Amino acid sequence: MGQTLTYKILAGHLADGKIAPGREIGIRIDQTLTQDATGTTAFLLFESMEAAGVKTKLSVSYVDHNLAGFGPENHNDHLYLQTIAAKSGVYHSRAGNGICHQVHLERFGKPAATLLGSDSHTPTGGAIAMLAIGAGGLDVAVAMAGGPFYLRCPKVLGVKLTGRLNHWVAAKDVILKLLSILSTKGNVGWAVEYLGSAVPTLSVPQRATITNMGAELGVTTSIFPSDEQTEKFLTARKRQTDYQPLAADPDAEYDRLIEINLSELEPMTACPSSPDNVKTVAEIAGLNIGQVVIGSCTNSSFADLMMVAKVLKTRHINNMVELAIAPGSREVLNMLAQNGALADMISAGARILETGCGPCIGQGFSPADGVVSLRTFNRNFPGRSGTTGDRAYLLSPETAVASALTGKITDPRNLPELFGIEFPEIKLPTEFLVDDSMIEKPLSEQDAARVKVLRGPTIVVPEAPKPLPDRLQGKVSIKCGDKITTDHIMPAGPFLKLRSNVPEYAKVVFNCFNEQGKPTFAERALELKQKGFAGIIVAGQSYGQGSSREHAALCPMYLGIRAVIAKSIERIHKANLINFCIVPIEFADPADYDKIKPDEQLQIDNLLEAINSSDEVEIINKTSSLKYLGRLELSDRDREILLSVGLLNYTRKKSRKNN
């Protein structure tokens, strides 16, 4: 039987274990990426490992999330990241250079390589056949120090693409279609591999939109083969030497196969407030809108923005719509400036935002109350835009720009009839602008040794976890429902600037559930901690969806949370919990979820013994006298990490043993 592309790259990087679905494996990591919102913690933890410098082939630290800069926090972070990168042999992409995933694809990604990034959209790199995986900052720090990355070997889902995209139907519609089939739940432990006769018709930026939003499916990674399109993409950026063809064997067998005929697709949208709440644009066309934002790591490539500029040329946006455009990288912005497309956007009334994450992570451009906001982003979780009760729709740049012209949700296939706009074929240039002047290269060892790392007062080394007790006596600090995202747990937006200061950031854990005039979650949790109780989070399905932010484990840990009991927990978040010594427990019988109430007292006896050698724990409800069975789905390594009081200690212990 032939091999899938995923398994070929995994096998080529295997450092520990055996390739078989569900088995834990360790893989060598060639490249890492970090961004500023997760990067300061990652580097603070990396520093505490006392590794002289990074051991990967290439590590890049990006500044793209926290650019708003109210107060000194963001700039403190930038200076710390710049100087610690110089000290550690890491490339540093400065603020303004672009979104990590876009720049990484343009400047550093390579077919067949492994990439680990402290951002859930790292699988964007799968567009050029990288095996690219998102993880918590501590996992990335360990990889930077030369350690393998451990994961459960995924099952491989083949997505066979046939037919051809019709005019005005976009790559975004392909991934929204897949989200409508698979949803955001229940895909943990899978990798998605694209194949089929339509693959050669998709450019790398189109593929990147698709692999990027694989994160919303909750899969480990998504990948396309490396072919002529990949070669074209790399050659246009003077990187032809990084190209190599790569594909699954023709007789590769997939654990599941889905077929999507691109010719049958139509414009789609994810309605509020989940990326899998998908409808066709035709179904909701005509809805009045107040805002359109085009950008993010999903849809801000040169090709996307050229499409937008061509539609806007000589036209003007509707007077009830605010349109913002955030190009994904300096390369894109500069090329639009040089070819005049930027002027077309400005003339049409667009507000040009800085190249970076911007409104995607709630940094400005929050919609007014009750107003419909259209976004070409990948996430529309409740409140992520910065407005409580927001009505954010995710859709393609084609649909976004058509709607900006009319002031209503508009199917872009109607543009010829409405405005006489012919479908603009975007011919990508054979040479792109290459300007790495905002990327600082690693220094020589001698120069690196002389660098003074700048640590502003808002950069606080995170507290270490405490050992788990053998008898866990706890209280239910909160009971939440299904699909709790890391945005619910740790809000971004105006609080994003607190990422380097856990005690401050922890004050807003579960902020969206806080009620005015009542003690906050943080206050209640700290009170429990002072009384000697362990905090326990009870949740429904898919707890910890979305971002890789390890603060969603780190801050609760700081508040005394020692266990999460949920119907199911998402991959990256589960790893983050273990890394910070919080026990992830799944209900053996999901119906038990209904039998627990907030504030009830729970007890788990012989916890350490269970972590050491059992797959289950008994949870005694001291308030109601009920008993529940909890599943511990832990690998041997997970168990060791929990018993070693977290990944950092575990790594230190291991390296002491090896020296």
Active-site residues, by number, are: 64-65, 119, 379, 547, 549
110 contacts 242 by C-beta, under 8 angstroms: yes
Residue 636's CB is within 10 A of a number of other CB atoms, namely 10
Site string for ligand MIC, 39-68 (x = CB under 6 A): --------------------------x---
Helix (H, G, I), strand (E, B) or coil at 33: strand
Give residues 76-105 in contact with ligand SF4 (rule: CB under 6 A): 99
Give residues 433-472 in contact with ligand MIC (rule: CB under 6 A): none
Strand spans (E) along 404-540: 439-440, 472-479, 534-539
Buried b / exposed e over 270-308, threshold 16 CB at 10 Å, is bbbbbbbbbebbeeebeeebbbbbbbbbbbbbbbbbbbb
Identify the residue whose tokens are 């997970």: 638
Residue 99 interacts with, from ligand SF4, ligand MIC, none (CB under 5-8 Å by kind): ligand SF4
Residue 362 CB, shortest distance to ligand SF4, in Å, is: 9
In terms of CB distance, is 379 or 413 closer to ligand MIC? 379
Site string for ligand SF4, 445-464 (x = CB under 6 A): --------------------
Q: Does 213 bind ligand SF4 (CB under 6 A)?
A: no
Residue 66 CB, shortest distance to ligand MIC, in Å, is: 9
Q: Out of 296, 355, 380, 545, name the contact with ligand SF4 by CB under 6 A.
A: 296
Q: Out of 81, 297, 401, 421, name the contact with ligand SF4 by CB under 6 A.
A: 297
Tokens at 319, concatenated = 């007077």
Which of 548, 545, 585 minimizes the C-alpha distance to 564? 585
Residue 411 interacts with, from ligand MIC, ligand SF4, none (CB under 5-8 Å by kind): none
Pairing of strands 91-93, 221-223: unpaired
Q: Put residue 508 in one of left, alpha, beta given phi > 0 → left and psi -120 to 50 → alpha.
A: alpha
Give residues 354-383 in contact with ligand MIC (rule: CB under 6 A): 361
Residue 569 CB, shortest distance to ligand MIC, in Å, is: 16
Residue 296 interacts with, from ligand SF4, ligand MIC, none (CB under 5-8 Å by kind): ligand SF4
In terms of CB distance, is 120 or 230 closer to ligand SF4? 120
Return the range that interacts with ligand SF4 (CB under 6 A); candidates 203-211, 357-365, 441-449, 617-625: 357-365
In terms of CB distance, is 322 or 570 closer to ligand MIC? 570
C-alpha to C-alpha distance for 279 and 285, rounded to whole angstroms: 10
Helix (H, G, I), strand (E, B) or coil at 84: helix
Kindly report whether the peptide bond that precedes residue 273 is cis, defined as omega within 30 degrees of 0.
Answer: yes
Tokens at 58, concatenated = 């290439």
Residue 549 interacts with, from ligand SF4, ligand MIC, none (CB under 5-8 Å by kind): ligand MIC
216 contacts 178 by C-beta, under 8 angstroms: no
Give residues 108-137 in contact with ligand SF4 (rule: CB under 6 A): 119, 121
Residue 204 interacts with, from ligand MIC, ligand SF4, none (CB under 5-8 Å by kind): none
- Which residues have C-beta within 8 Å of that of residue 142, sequence separation ≥ 6? 49, 149, 647, 651
Give residues 479-538 in contact with ligand MIC (rule: CB under 6 A): 492
Residue 152 CB, shortest distance to ligand MIC, in Å, is: 19
Residue 295 CB, shortest distance to ligand MIC, in Å, is: 12
Q: Does 344 bind ligand MIC (CB under 6 A)?
A: no
C-alpha to C-alpha distance for 351 and 360, rounded to whole angstroms: 15
C-alpha to C-alpha distance for 270 and 289, rounded to whole angstroms: 15
Q: Out of 114, 274, 547, 576, name the contact with ligand MIC by CB under 6 A.
A: 547
- The continuous run of DSSP H or E covering 258 comes out as strand 256-261
C-alpha to C-alpha distance for 642 and 576, rounded to whole angstroms: 11
Tokens at 614, concatenated = 């059992």
The dihedrals phi and psi of 5, each to the nearest 5 degrees, come to -65, -40
Beta bridge partners of 538: 479, 565
Q: Out of 13, 78, 87, 121, name the contact with ligand MIC by CB under 6 A.
A: 121
Residue 153 CB, shortest distance to ligand MIC, in Å, is: 22
Which residues of this protein are in contact with ligand SF4, per CB under 6 A?
A: 65, 99, 119, 121, 296-297, 357, 360-361, 378
Which residues of this protein are in contact with ligand MIC, per CB under 6 A?
A: 37-38, 65, 119-121, 361, 492, 546-549
